A and B are shown apart, each in its own frame.
Chain A
Amino acid sequence: AQRVTQPEKLLSVFKGAPVELKCNYSYSGSPELFWYVQYSRQRLQLLLRHISRESIKGFTADLNKGETSFHLKKPFAQEEDSAMYYCALHSGGYQKVTFGTGTKLQVIP
Chain B
Amino acid sequence: SAVISQKPSRDICQRGTSLTIQCQVDSQVTMMFWYRQQPGQSLTLIATANQGSEATYESGFVIDKFPISRPNLTFSTLTVSNMSPEDSSIYLCSVAGTGEGETQYFGPGTRLLVL
Most buried by B among A52, A99, A100: A99
Q: How far is the CA of A46 from the CA of B48 in the complex (A)?
A: 20
Q: How far is the CA of A67 from the CA of B108 in the complex (A)?
A: 34
B103 in contact with A49 (CB, 8 Å): yes
A46 in contact with B103 (CB, 8 Å): yes
Q: Is the interface of A mostly helix, strand, loop or mixed?
A: strand
User: Which of B43, B96, B106, B107 has a CB less than 8 Å from the CB of A95?
Assistant: B96
For A70-92 the 0/1 string (1 means CB < 8 A from B) is 00000000000000001000100
Report the interface size for chain A: residues with CB under 8 A from the other chain: 20
B103 in contact with A34 (CB, 8 Å): yes
Q: How far is the CA of A94 from the CA of B32 in the complex (A)?
A: 10
Return chain A residues, CB-CB under 8 Å to B100.
32, 51
- A-B contacts counted at CB < 8 A amount to 44
B83 contacts chain A at the CB level, 8 A cutoff: no
Q: How far is the CA of A51 from the CA of B103 in the complex (A)?
A: 11
Q: How far is the CA of A52 from the CA of B43 in the complex (A)?
A: 24
A43 in contact with B42 (CB, 8 Å): no
Most buried by A among B45, B94, B97, B103: B103
Interface set of A (CB-CB < 8 Å, partner B): 32, 34, 43-46, 49, 51-52, 86, 90, 94-102
